[in-house]
């Protein structure tokens, strides 16, 4: 993968210079350490940091189009470029390189803005049509690659990461309070919003057109499902499983295309095991795989990893991740993520991509997306049980099914039913709500806002900030007619996968070490197929990812097919506090003086949370999320606001100071 950056004059009338682009591209060096390239054309400048994967000799960027009047800076991969290229050649197009980048330019010449519908891949594209003086910015369908933009002094600035925009800021950026409100509800700011006030991001499946001094956006793709009771795919379980397997094998096959060796992440769960099985079935015999190991037995999946490794005979490497490693790597992780986070889970992902890079690999395939596309999460199961319960709200035994999902609730047997009803009964009277499955989680997460400072609370109250109402307004109108399971899938894919998993925990953690991730389960053909499956093909009774398991028989060891799904988690509080004492930077950033100076959180309340942690009494999920959320917000401010000048107007490339 790579990084892109650029400037377009909207109202400004002085030319864009290479000297302006260089510091922007310099901040993206980790995304593309192999080469930097620039193209300036009056009021337009494109920059590119390259990680060479396909056609290392001929694929340099920015690249000119066939007629010389179009220029592209492109971050990503077009996996079906060979087919597209052959098709274009048959229709008379002539190519100068073997790169996928050139294919995009020819497709644009042939189809205009509709070129995007032909692409199977992950991409952030800046395409300058010099003849029409028109700039097109495009982000891939599901949001694998990021693309940020802002306006400064009559100019549009855009880049793969916000840190590339910041050298053009005169003053330090400010935190958008409504973004923090969203993070403390959904775990992430929702596009186009970002944590940086005035900086926006393209939504997944969206293009931005800049022409005649103005900007407008157009959605070209979204997760869409058939109306409930409508046009689902027909076929027996085995027939549909066969079709799914064929699609997934092809999605995997085209993602192995590269001029450098390709490895794979292996968690020991169903998705990555299936992926590794498919890679081997596709004829890759000497596969290199990578995983994270945890000291904490509750988090570690080494046992299942070993079974898969033996089954497929992969050559495996593992990075051992201790709690103190997570704490030590957290500050720089927040710098890369560019956002407050509520979990430390991105940290091990960054340590893992570091291992991949040290082993000489630039590309890994991962199982990311299978849970969203094929229905794997406990949240979907919980939603299904609650729908079943809502259909007969007075039932005494229907809610007891929830105990299957949360074994620790077993201590509430007997009279615990009342508590079950209260914990999981929220919104039971509105089973058609698009947020039926998510509201409980969001309300629990929103408890973090208790720690907001009086000033921040007043700002949000006065501005009438309401993240859930904002999200509701942005939903597609068709959604009201979908099956509840599909509503849950849609909301999950947008609010959590695109906004958090693929960004803070995905692209940014891979790219921090110049490693490209590829995600066969997020091939848009797989999504289109899966979205037309009846929900019972995804969740059969309470058996999650039913059809995927059926499709992977024989390819994945039986114990992995039938194991209980384990959510990926990393150590939270223990990463920062050991025997009641916080790491130095933790103590400093959570001190009343610094909390007061930054202004986001209530110092006395945070002190009480810290005291609870020191006493070893912070055991719940809420306390963990609150601590990580507060600490990462403080780090965000430290990196991007307090040290704005040092980090973004100095001469260093991407270096980051430590608190």
Partner 1 sequence: MELEQKIKGYILENYLFTDDPSALASDDSLLDRGIVDSTGILEVIMFLEEEFGVSVEDEEMVPENLDSVRNLVAFVQRKRAAA
Give residues in contact with partner 1 (CB under 8 A): 406, 408-409, 411-416, 418-419, 422-423, 443-444, 446-447, 450-451, 602, 604-606, 608-609, 612, 617, 619-622
Length of the chain equals 659
What is the Cα–Cα distance from 59 to 55, expressed in whole angstroms?
Answer: 5
210 vs 606, which CB is nearer to partner 1? 606
Paired tokens of 337: 């993520």
Pick from 391, 420, 120, 438: nearest CA to 254? 120
2 is catalytic: yes
What lies within 8 Å, CB to CB, of 453 at 6+ separation is: 599, 600, 601, 602
Local structure of 393: helix, strand or coil:
coil
601 vs 636 by CB, closer to partner 1 = 601
Judged by CB, which is closer to partner 1: 555, or 628? 628
Q: Give the closest residue to 610 by CA, choosing from 642, 636, 570, 583.
A: 583
Cα 42–chain centre separation = 35
The Cβ-side half-sphere exposure at 164, using a 13 Å CA radius, reads 30
Q: Which is nearer to partner 1, 410 or 578 (CB)?
A: 410
How far apart, in Å, are the Cα atoms of 393 and each of 50, 145, 427, 439, 443?
57, 43, 11, 18, 21
> DSSP readout, 269-325?
SHHHHHHHHHHHHTT--S-EEEEEEESSTTT--HHHHHHHHHHHT-EEEEEEE-HHH
Q: Among residues 281 and 446, whose Cβ is nearest to partner 1?
A: 446
Tokens of 341: 């986070």
Minimum separation from the CB atom of position 198 to partner 1 (A): 32
192: preceding bond cis by omega (within 30 degrees):
yes
What's 552-601 look like in SS3? CECCECHHHHHCCCCCCCCCCHHHHEECCEECHHHHHHCCHHHHHHHCCE
Q: Shortest approach of partner 1 to residue 536 CB, angstroms?
A: 28
Would you say 95 or 406 has its CB closer to partner 1? 406
Rounded-to-10 torsion of CA 181, 187, 190, 196: 60
Radius of gyration of the chain (CA): 24
Smallest separation (angstroms) from partner 1 to the CB of 577: 16
Q: Contact, 182 vs 498, CB < 8 A?
A: no
Q: Of 2, 70, 321, 503, which one is the catalytic site residue?
A: 2
Q: Looking at beta carbons only, is 105 or 613 nearer to partner 1?
A: 613
* Closer of 342 and 527 to partner 1 (Cβ): 342
Q: Which residues of 184-210 are buried (b: 16+ CB within 10 A; e: fewer)?
A: bbbbbbbbbbbbbeebbbbbbbbbbbb
* 49 CB burial (10 A radius; 0-12, 13-18, 19+): buried
CB 357 within 8 Å of CB 583: no
Write the CB contacts of 83 (distance below 8 Å, at least 6 apart in sequence).
none
Q: How far is the CB of 408 from partner 1 (least distance, A)?
A: 8
Residue number, 9 or 440, with CB nearest to partner 1: 440
Give the residue numbers annotated as catalytic, written as ranges. 2
């Amino acid at each position: 993968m790579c990084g892109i950056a650029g400037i377009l004059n909207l109202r400004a009338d002085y030319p864009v210079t290479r000297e302006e682009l260089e510091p922007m591209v310099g901040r993206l060096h980790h995304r593309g350490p192999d080469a930097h390239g620039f193209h300036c054309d009056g009021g337009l400048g494109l920059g590119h940091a390259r990680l060479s994967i396909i056609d290392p000799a001929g694929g340099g960027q920015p690249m000119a189009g066939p007629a010389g009047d179009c220029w592209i800076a492109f971050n990503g991969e077009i996996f079906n470029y060979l087919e597209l290229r052959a098709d274009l050649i048959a229709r008379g197009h002539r190519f100068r390189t073997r790169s996928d980048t050139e294919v995009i330019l020819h497709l644009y010449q042939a189809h205009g803005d509709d070129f995007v519908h032909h692409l199977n891949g992950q991409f952030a594209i800046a395409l300058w049509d010099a003849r029409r003086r028109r700039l097109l910015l495009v982000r891939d369908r599901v949001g694998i690659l990021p693309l940020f933009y802002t306006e400064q002094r009559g100019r549009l600035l855009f880049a793969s990461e916000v840190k590339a925009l910041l050298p053009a800021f005169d003053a330090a950026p400010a935190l958008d309070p409504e973004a923090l409100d969203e993070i403390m509800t959904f775990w992430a700011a929702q596009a186009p919003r970002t944590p940086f006030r005035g900086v926006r991001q393209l939504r997944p499946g969206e293009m931005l057109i800049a022409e005649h001094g103005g900007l407008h956006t157009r959605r070209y793709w979204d997760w869409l499902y058939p109306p409930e009771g409508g046009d689902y795919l027909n076929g027996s379980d085995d027939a549909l499983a066969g079709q799914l397997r064929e699609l997934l094998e092809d999605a995997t096959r085209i993602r192995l295309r590269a001029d450098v060796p390709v490895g794979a992440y292996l968690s020991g769960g169903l998705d990555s095991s299936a992926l590794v099985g498919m890679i081997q079935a596709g004829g890759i015999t000497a596969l290199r795989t990578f995983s994270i190991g945890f000291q904490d037995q509750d988090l570690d999946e080494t046992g299942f990893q070993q079974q898969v490794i033996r089954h497929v005979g992969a050559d495996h490497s593992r990075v051992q991740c201790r709690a103190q490693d997570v704490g030590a790597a957290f500050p720089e992780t927040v710098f890369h993520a560019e956002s407050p986070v509520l979990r430390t889970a991105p940290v091990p992902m960054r340590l893992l991509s570091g291992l991949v890079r040290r082993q000489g690999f630039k590309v890994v395939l991962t199982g990311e997306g299978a849970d969203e596309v094929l229905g794997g999460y406990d949240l979907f199961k919980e939603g299904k049980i609650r729908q079943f319960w809502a259909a007969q709200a007075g039932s005494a035994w229907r809610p007891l099914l929830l105990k299957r999902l949360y074994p620790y609730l077993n201590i509430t047997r007997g009279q615990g039913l009342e508590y079950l009803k209260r914990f999981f009964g929220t919104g039971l009277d509105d089973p058609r709500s698009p947020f039926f499955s998510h509201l409980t989680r969001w309300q629990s997460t929103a408890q973090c806002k208790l720690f907001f400072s009086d000033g921040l609370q007043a700002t949000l109250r006065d501005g009438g900030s309401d993240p859930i109402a904002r999200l509701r307004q942005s939903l597609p109108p068709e959604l009201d007619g979908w099956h509840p399971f599909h509503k849950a899938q849609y909301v999950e894919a947008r609010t959590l996968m695109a906004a958090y998993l693929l960004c803070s925990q995905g692209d940014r953690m891979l790219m921090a070490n110049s490693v490209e991730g590829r995600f066969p389960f997020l091939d848009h053909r797989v999504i289109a197929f899966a979205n037309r499956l009846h929900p019972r093909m995804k969740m059969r009774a309470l058996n999650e990812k039913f059809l995927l398991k059926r499709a992977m028989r024989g390819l994945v060891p039986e114990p992995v097919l039938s194991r209980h799904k384990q959510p990926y988690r990393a150590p939270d509080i223990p990463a920062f506090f050991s025997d009641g004492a916080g790491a130095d930077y933790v103590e400093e950033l959570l001190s009343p003086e610094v909390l007061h100076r930054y202004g986001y959180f209530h110092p006395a309340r945070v002190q009480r949370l810290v005291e609870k942690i020191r006493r070893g009494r912070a055991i719940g999920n809420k306390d963990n999320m609150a601590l990580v959320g507060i600490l990462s917000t403080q780090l965000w401010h430290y990196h991007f606001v307090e040290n704005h000048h040092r980090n973004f107007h100095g001469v260093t490339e991407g270096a980051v100071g430590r608190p």
